[in-house]
């Protein structure tokens, strides 16, 4: 039974007007509220299971939600204690203690999104890296599709996932310009990333520790220019006698 049939049945079986409270309480609609974010005002949708969607605060957002999730959005107050948790999640770019409703994605996509949520603020990883850490190394394209369908961007930071060549790539929440704004807000050195991508450098290492990292890893940022070594691939780093950083797991 779809949403419209459910609503029709409830309306014919219950006298009077079907209130917003009934729609929200029965799960036939999600609530939403507006919040500020580094890319402007957004709406955050929620239900009893957790936050279900994040979108730009514009008129078309309500229609997009209904088209994707099959139920309407109604303006409402978040559950007790959630408002501060939503604000923190938007600010930090990770769910923290905020529950997420993953019913709109497959188990594989949920696994990818949960792993993406662990990418630190100001750092980036590639689609291929995500595929490897979820034990599906050949699923790079599926990982890219998962990022494009992330129901809660900003809260699960798909903006921290970039192309294999190191370039920024697309972003579902307002396009690549918003992705750039978010990464710059988090302190990512995009000029350096673009320079490395142009020269096909994928990893950097220290000739004192002989450890190689993703260029945005906090360990990599501590390497002085005189000790910095650049690598175009993992195999090149390993052949040079370097071992992978245990923090960023290149």
Instruction: List CB contacts of 99: < 8 A, sequence separation 6 or more.
Output: 49, 50, 51
Alpha-helical segments (H) within the chain:
3-13, 20-25, 60-69, 82-92, 107-116, 127-133, 140-148, 176-185, 190-198, 234-239
Question: Distances from the Cα of 120 to the Cαs of 70, 132, 213, in angstroms?
Answer: 33, 18, 14
Residue 158 a catalytic site member: yes
Rounded Cα distance, 123 and 110, in Å? 21
- Which residues carry out catalysis? 158
């Amino acid at each position: 039974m779809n949403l419209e049939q459910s609503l029709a049945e409830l309306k014919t079986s219950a006298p009077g007007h079907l209130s917003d409270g009934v729609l929200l309480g029965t799960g036939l609609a999600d609530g939403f509220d507006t919040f500020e974010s580094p890319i402007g005002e957004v709406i955050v949708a929620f239900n009893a299971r957790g936050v279900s969607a994040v979108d730009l605060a514009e008129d078309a957002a309500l229609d997009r939600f209904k088209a994707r999730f099959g139920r309407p959005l109604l303006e409402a107050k978040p559950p007790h204690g959630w408002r501060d948790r939503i604000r923190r999640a938007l600010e930090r770019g990770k769910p923290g203690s905020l529950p997420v409703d993953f019913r709109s994605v497959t188990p594989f996509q949920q696994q990818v999104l949960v792993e993406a949520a662990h990418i630190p603020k100001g750092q980036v990883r590639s689609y291929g890296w995500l595929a490897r850490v979820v034990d599906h190394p050949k699923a790079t394209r599926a990982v890219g599709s998962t990022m494009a369908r992330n129901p809660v961007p900003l809260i699960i930071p798909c903006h921290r996932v970039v192309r294999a060549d190191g370039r920024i790539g697309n972003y579902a929440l307002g396009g690549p310009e918003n992705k750039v704004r978010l990464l710059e807000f988090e302190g990512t050195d995009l000029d350096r990333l673009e320079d490395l991508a142009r020269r096909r450098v994928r990893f950097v290492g220290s000739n004192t520790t002989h450890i190689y990292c993703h260029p945005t890893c906090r360990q990599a940022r501590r390497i002085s220019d005189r000790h910095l070594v650049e690598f175009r691939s993992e195999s090149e780093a390993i052949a040079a006698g370097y071992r992978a950083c245990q923090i960023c797991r290149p």
